[in-house]
Amino acid sequence: MMFPSTIETLARAVAHEHDSCGRIFGIPAALFAPAAASPRLRCAHMGHSLDNPFGVAAGPHTQLAQNIVASYLVGARFIELKTVQVLDRLEVSKPCIDMRDLGYNCEWSQELTLEQSFDQYASAFALVHALARARGADPSGIGFNMSVGYDLRGIRSPAVTTFIDRMRGAGGGITAKAKAVRDAFAGTSLAVDELDVPERISNDVTLSTMHGCPPEEIERIGLHLIEELGVHTTIKLNPTLLGPERLRHLLHDRLGHTRVEVPDEAFAHDPSFEDACAIVDSLSRAAKKAGLCFAVKLTNTLETRNVEKVLPEKEALHYMSGRALHPISAALAALLADRFAGAVPISLSGGVDAFNAADLLACGVRPLTVSSDLLRPGGYGRLPQYLELAEDRLGALGIERLDDVPLSATKLAAYAERAADDTRYSRRTARPTFSSRRSLELVDCMAAPCRERCPAHQNVPDTLRLIAEGRADDALEVILRDNPLAATTGCACDHPCTLECVRNLLDDPIEIREIKRWAEENARADADEPRPYRRDGLHARPCSIGVVGAGPAGLAAAVFCRRLGHEVTVYEARDRLGGIPASAIPAFRLPDAAVARDVARAARLGVRFERGRTLGGDLDLGALRAVHDRVFIAVGAGGGRRLGVPGEGAAGVCDAIDFLERVKKGGPPDLGRSVVVVGGGNSAMDAARAARRLVGEAGRVTVVYRRTRAEMPAARDEIDIAEKEGVAFEELLAPGRVTVGTDGHVVGLECLVMELGEAGDDGRRAPVPVAGKTRTVRVDSIIVAVGQGRLPASLASSGLEVAPNGRIAVDVGLETRLPGVFAGGDAVRGASTIVEAVADARAFADAVGNTGGDGAAREIDANASLARKSRRAYKEAEPRAEAARCLGCDELCALCVTVCPNRANVLYEIVPTAGGVTQRYQTANVADWCNGCGNCAAFCPTGGAPYRDKPRICLTEEAAREIGDGAVFLLERDGWELREREAGETVRVVREGEHRSSETDPAGARLFAIGRALYAAFRYLV
C-alpha cells in the first residue's frame, strides 16, 4: 500500500535534493530537458500547444506527483494521468509488472482513491509550474490529460463527475498548493517570486475502456464526454482490432513471438475493426459539432495468457505492451489512417522508443506517449534521447514544424511493414536476464554482472575502463591477472559475460571478448610480463608444482602458480601444447598463433614443459607426488560420448573432436554431400562450420538438436554465424537409429520427434518424445557432438576416485581423495569451456597462494554515472569507443533506482568502513512511495528484491506498520529508529544516539552506520 506524500513534503524534497545533490527525485540535472522548447517539435493536441510531442502514458509514470514531476523534468509534455474510476479501493495483484523483455502487467488499476488521485495530480501540476518558472520555461506547453474508466455508470457517478469537475478547475485548491511550493522553494536556487498556477488542470479526457467493453458502451461514454461534459476526447483502442489472423500472423510468423498466446476471447469480446470505425466516425462528428477536439490513441495493451507465470499465477491473463506491440500498433494506425483519410488524429504508445519516434512523427502520428520503455533500465532518463533524436532526424528530413506534417496512411503502411521485419521487435533479439542468485544484503550490493557471470570472475569493468583510456598495456595486465590465456580466450571464449552485460537491457551488450582480444593483440610487445602475485598464507614458501596436461586448465594453473613464485613443471602427452582448443577448434575461430602466444608467455615466466609424458603410461602419480608438493591433474575429458543408438558403429559416423582434429591437422575425412551434426554445443557449431567448408556449395550440413535453438548451450553468436554460413538447423529431433547401407556405410538418421516438457533442474525444458512420430534424414555422414564422456583409461589405475558421473571426484577445493593431488577442467566437469578451466586453475592456485587483489577504489561521479546509464548507445566499431560504452556497474549499479516509476528506490552515501560497510553508494527504499510492483526486483542482478531487502525508509508510522520483515527505518523530525525484523518479530533496534561498537556488537554497529547515513541523507523528508 502506498502513502502518497503531501505537497509540503514533495516540494521540500524537490528543493533539497536539487540543491544538495544536483538531482530531483533521483533524476540528475544533466537529464533535465532544455528550458526552451524546440520550434520544430512544438505541436497542437487536444486544445494544448505542447512544447514537444512526447509524453508519458497513463500508468505507473503518472500515478504519484513525483512521477509526473520526474516525467516533466526529462521532457514529457503530454501527461496522460493514470486512469481513475469509481471503484477506487481495489486490491491489485503483486508483483504487477514484468518488463524484462516484452512488457507484461496485470491490468493497471487505480491504486489511489479518487481523492488521493486528485491531490497528487494537483500537487504535480503546481510543482511542474513552479519548476518551469524556476527554470525560466513557459509552463503553458505542458498538457495534463485525464483518463477515466471503465463504464458509463462509473463515469457518470457523482465521485468521478466531481473528480472531473475539480480537474477542470471547480474549487480545486490549486492556490494553496502553489503557496506551499513557493514557501518550500524560498531561499533555495529554485525560489520563485510569483507563482501563478491556473485552476484548470485539464480539460481533456482519454477514455480507457476495459478489455471486453462492448462497442455501444464505448460510443455512449464518448458521447457523454463530448456532449454532456464538453471535454476534448480521445478514445484508446485495442490491438485486437487488427483481427485474429492478421494480429497472430504479425506476432507469431513475422516477429517470432510464438510463445505469446492471445486467447480467442480477446477478439471475441473486443470490438471489431468495423465496430471501432463506426464509433470513431460517430464521435468525431459529435466532437466537430461541439467544437471540440477528438483523437484516437493506439493502443491499449494486448490481452495474453499468463504462460511464464512471472506475474501471480492466479492471474490467468496478463497484458502485453512494449516492443512486440509496436509493429501491431503501427499496422493498426495505418489501417485507421487509411479508413479516415488521415482526418482523425492518431496518438500512439505501443512500443514507442527513442529510435522509432522520429519515424512515427514523420508519418504524422502524434503525440507519442511512453510507459514500457521507461520501466526498463535508465527509466525516466531514457526520454531526453527521444527529443534529441527526433530533433536531429526530423531536421534531416527537412521538417521544420511538426504541425505541418499531415497524417499519412501511405507512409504509415510502409513504416508498419518495415517494423514487422525489424529484429528489434522480434523474438530473435530477446533480452537475456541475469543468472546471479546471490543474496541481496542491506548494503554493499553493487557488482558487475559480467564479472559475476564469468567463471574466472575476470575484472571486466577495469579492463574496459583502461582500454577506453587508451591504456591497452595496463588492460592486458588486468586481464592476465585473472586469466593467463588472454589470447586463446580472446578468440574462442564462449563469453557468457556478454549475455549478462547490463547493456543488453538498454541497447547492445558490450563486445567484451573482442575488446579484450584487441588489447591482447595491441598491447606493447613487452607489456605482457605479468607481475608476481603476493605469496602469503599457508604456502608462503616456494613449492614444487606438477601439472598433468597442457590444456587450458593445466596451462592456466601453471601460470598462476608460477606468478606465485612456485616451481612448475607441466607434463603433456602430446607434442602440441594447448589441449583440445589448440588441436580441435578450427583455425577460423582460434588461430594457432593465439595459442602460441599464451604458451610463450607461460614459458617466459619459467614454466617447464615435458612433452610426451602420459599419466598411467610413463608417468606414475605416486612418483609425481613424491617429486612435487602439489599435483594438479588437468588431463581433459577423454573421448567423445556416443549416441547410444543402434547402427552408430557404421562407417561415416564420427566423433566431433576426432573430426575437428583431423581437419586441423589437414587430413579431413570425406564427408560426402549431406552431413548431419548431432548436438547443440560449441563443438557442434565448430564441426558444422568446418563441415560446411568441406562439403562445398552443393552440399548440405544440418545441425540436429533435441531441444529448440533457444535452449542450445552453444554461444548464441556461434549459432548465428553457423546459420549465416549456410548451416541448417533442425530442432526437436533426437537420434533414434542410424540406418546403414549394404556397404556398411551410414545412409540415414532416424530421429524421434520431440516436444518440450517441464523445466529441469538446470532451468531448461526437457525434451519429451512425441508418441509415434519419427523423421528420417538422408545423410552421407554423421558427426556426433553430444559431449565428452570417457576419462582416459590410463587414469583407472592411478588411485584417483572416480565419481558416479565418470569424472575424477574432488572436494569443493578441487582436491581429490589423494592428499596434495588436485584436479580440474574437463577431467572433473566433463566437456566444459576454456574459461571454466581457467576458473578451476585459479581455484587450485588459490590453494597454494593468493592470486586475489584488485586495484584501489576510484572516485565516482554518481550523477554523471546515472545520466550515462540512461542513454542508449548501440555498438561501436572502434574498440576504444566500444569499451567506453561500459557502464561501470561495479562502481554504481542503481538499476533499481532508475527503473522505479514511483522514485521509491533512492541512492545514498555512506562512509566506507563505517560498521564494516565497504561501498560508498548504497540504495534504500521509501516504503510510503512503493507499491510493490516488482519492477526493481525484475532488473536487480541479484536473487533479491530491492523493495523488500533494502532498508525501508518510512515517512509515516502507517508505512512502518505495513512492513513485514527487513530493516524498517522510521524517519522522524528529531531522530530515527532502525528496527530489524525477522519472521514478523523485531529482533534488533538501534536509535539515534545509541552508538554500537563494532567489536562487541558488529551487527548493531552496521545497523547504526546505516541508520546514521540514512538520516543524514533523508531527514529533509520529514
Considering only 320-328, 477-485, 664-672, 934-942, which stretch makes contact with ligand SF4 by CB under 6 A? 934-942
Q: Considering only CA atoms, which of 992, 985, 988 is closest in space to residue 1009? A: 992
Piece of 338-346, 418-426, 487-495, 929-937 that binds ligand SF4 (CB under 6 A)? 929-937
Q: Does 4 bind ligand SF4 (CB under 6 A)?
A: no
Q: Please state the closest distance from residue 905 (CB atom) to ligand SF4, in A.
A: 5
Q: Does residue 64 belong to the site contacting ligand SF4 (CB under 6 A)?
A: no
Residue 942 within binding range of ligand SF4, rule CB under 6 A: yes
Burial class (CB in 10 A: 0-12, 13-18, 19+), 673: middle
For the CB of residue 444, give the shortest distance to ligand SF4 in the complex, in Å: 9
Q: Which is nearer to ligand SF4, 233 or 931 (CB)?
A: 931
For ligand SF4, which is the closer residue by CB, 444 or 567? Answer: 444
The Cα–Cα gap between 552 and 560 comes to 12
d(CA 822, CA 547): 9
Q: How far is the CB of 105 from ligand SF4 (least distance, A)?
A: 12
To which H or E segment does residue 948 belong? Answer: helix 946-949
Tell me whether residue 451 or residue 641 sits nearer to ligand SF4 (CB atom): 451
Q: What's the min distance (Å) between Cβ of 460 and ligand SF4?
A: 5
List helix spans (H) across 859-941: 862-868, 879-883, 895-899, 935-939
What is the Cα–Cα distance from 385 to 872, expressed in whole angstroms? Answer: 8
d(CA 390, CA 359): 9
What do you get for the CA distance between the two ends of the chain, in Å? Answer: 19
Residue 99 as a binder of ligand SF4 (CB under 6 A): the answer is: no
Among residues 412, 624, 930, 990, which is the contact residue for ligand SF4, using CB under 6 A? 930
Q: Which amino acid, one-letter code, is at 440?
A: L
The full DSSP string for 420-442 is HH-GGGSGGGPPP-----PPPPS
Residue 226 or 904 with smaller CB distance to ligand SF4: 904
Closer to ligand SF4 at the Cβ: 503 or 996? Answer: 503
Shortest distance, position 760 Cβ to ligand SF4, whole Å: 28
Q: How many residues bind ligand SF4 (CB under 6 A)?
A: 42
- If we measure between CA atoms, which residue out of 684, 707, 776, 789 comes closest to residue 738? 776
DSSP summary character for residue 803: P
For ligand SF4, the closer CB: 578 or 888:
888
Q: What is the 3-state secondary structure (H, E, C) of 785-798?
A: CCCEEECCHHHCCC
- Which cell numbers hold the place of 529? 610480463
Under rule CB under 6 A, residue 927 binds ligand SF4: no
CB of 530: closest distance to ligand SF4 in angstroms? Answer: 23
Identify which range of 27-35, 76-84, 748-756, 940-948 contacts ligand SF4 by CB under 6 A.
Answer: 940-948
Considering only residues 247, 365, 387, 440, which one is a binding residue for ligand SF4 as defined by CB under 6 A? 440
**186-210 in b/e burial notation, b at 16+ Cβ within 10 A?**
eebebebeebebeeebbbbbbbbbb
Residue numbers 186-205 binding ligand SF4 by CB under 6 A: none
Q: Write the secondary structure of 113-135 as one string of H (helix), E (strand) and C (coil).
A: CHHHHHHHHHHHHHHHHHHHHHC
Within residues 450-479, the interface with ligand SF4 by CB under 6 A covers 450, 460-461, 464
Q: How far apart are alpha carbons 940 and 447 in whole angstroms?
A: 11
Name the minimum Å distance from CB 114 to ligand SF4. 21
Q: Calculate the dihedral angle through the C-alpha atoms of 877, 883, 884, 885, rounding to the nearest 10 degrees.
A: 80
Q: Which of 932, 951, 966, 1004 binds ligand SF4 (CB under 6 A)?
A: 932
Among 31, 446, 492, 643, binds ligand SF4 (CB under 6 A): 446
Residues whose CB is less than 8 angstroms from the CB of residue 234 and which lie 6 or more positions away in sequence, other chains included: 46, 145, 204, 205, 206, 207, 294, 295, 296, 297, 347
Tell me the three state secondary structure of residue 173.
coil
Which region among 346-354, 748-756, 922-930, 967-975 touches ligand SF4 (by CB under 6 A)? 922-930
CB 624 within 8 A of CB 727: no
Q: Which of residues 685-724 bind ligand SF4 (CB under 6 A)?
A: none
Residue 503, interface with ligand SF4 (CB under 6 A)?
Answer: yes
Kindly state the smallest distance separating residue 191's Cβ from ligand SF4, in Å. 31
**Comparison of 270 and 452: residue with beta carbon closer to ligand SF4:** 452
Give me the least distance between CB of 461 and ligand SF4, in Å please: 4
Contact 940, 895 (CB under 8 A): yes
Q: Which stretch binds ligand SF4 (CB under 6 A): 139-147, 540-548, 650-658, 933-941?
A: 933-941
The least CB distance from residue 839 to ligand SF4, in Å, is: 17
Identity of the residue, 320 or 501, whose beta carbon is nearer to ligand SF4 in the bound complex: 501
DSSP string, 343-407: -S-EEE-TT--TTTHHHHHHTT---EEESGGGGSTTGGGGHHHHHHHHHHHHHHTT---GGG---
Stretch that binds ligand SF4, among 157-165, 268-276, 789-797, 938-946 (CB under 6 A): 938-946
Which residue number, 97 or 784, has a Cβ lying nearer to ligand SF4?
A: 97
My answer on whether omega of the bond before 1015 falls inside 30° of 0, hence cis, is: no
Give the three cell numbers for residue 1011. 541508520
- Per-residue buried b or exposed e for 13-45, using 16+ beta carbons within 10 Å of the residue's own CB: bbbbbbeebebbbbbbebbbbeeebbebbbbeb
Q: For residue 146, what is the enclosing H or E element?
A: strand 143-148
Reduced 3-state DSSP string for 402-413: HHHCCCCHHHHH
CB of 433 to ligand SF4, least distance (A): 13
- At its nearest, how many Å lie between ligand SF4 and the CB of residue 373? 15
Q: Does 502 bind ligand SF4 (CB under 6 A)?
A: yes
Give the binding range for ligand SF4 (CB under 6 A) out of 143-151, 447-455, 544-552, 605-613: 447-455
For ligand SF4, the closer of residues 66 and 301 by Cβ is 66
d(CA 83, CA 57): 10
Residue 841 CB, nearest approach to ligand SF4 (Å): 23
Q: Which of 46, 543, 936, 1014 binds ligand SF4 (CB under 6 A)?
A: 936
CB 643, min distance to ligand SF4, A? 39
Examine residue 824 and tell whether it contacts ligand SF4 (CB under 6 A). Answer: no
Q: Pick the stretch among 194-202, 275-283, 438-446, 771-779 that binds ligand SF4 (CB under 6 A).
A: 438-446
- Choice between 77 and 517, CB closer to ligand SF4: 517
Q: Which of 287, 298, 361, 940 binds ligand SF4 (CB under 6 A)?
A: 940
Residues with Cβ < 8 Å from 623, sequence gap 6 or more? none
User: Whose Cβ is closer to ligand SF4: residue 824's or residue 934's?
Assistant: 934
> CB neighbours of 190 closer than 8 A, spacing ≥ 6?
14, 15, 18, 19, 130, 131, 134
Specify the residue, 9 or 206, whose C-beta has the smaller distance to ligand SF4.
9
Euclidean distance between CA atoms 941 and 448, whole angstroms? 9
510 binds ligand SF4 (CB under 6 A): yes
* Nearest residue to 79 (alpha-carbon basis) of 320, 401, 376, 383: 383
Closest approach of ligand SF4 to the CB of residue 685, in Å:
24
CA distance 24 to 8: 15
Site track for ligand SF4 across 872-911, x = CB under 6 A: --------------xxxxx--xxxx--xx-x-xx------
Q: Are 259 and 320 in contact (CB under 8 A)?
A: no
Binding-site ranges for ligand SF4 (CB under 6 A): 440, 445-446, 448-450, 460-461, 464, 501-503, 510, 512, 886-890, 893-896, 899-900, 902, 904-905, 923, 925, 930-936, 940-942, 946-947
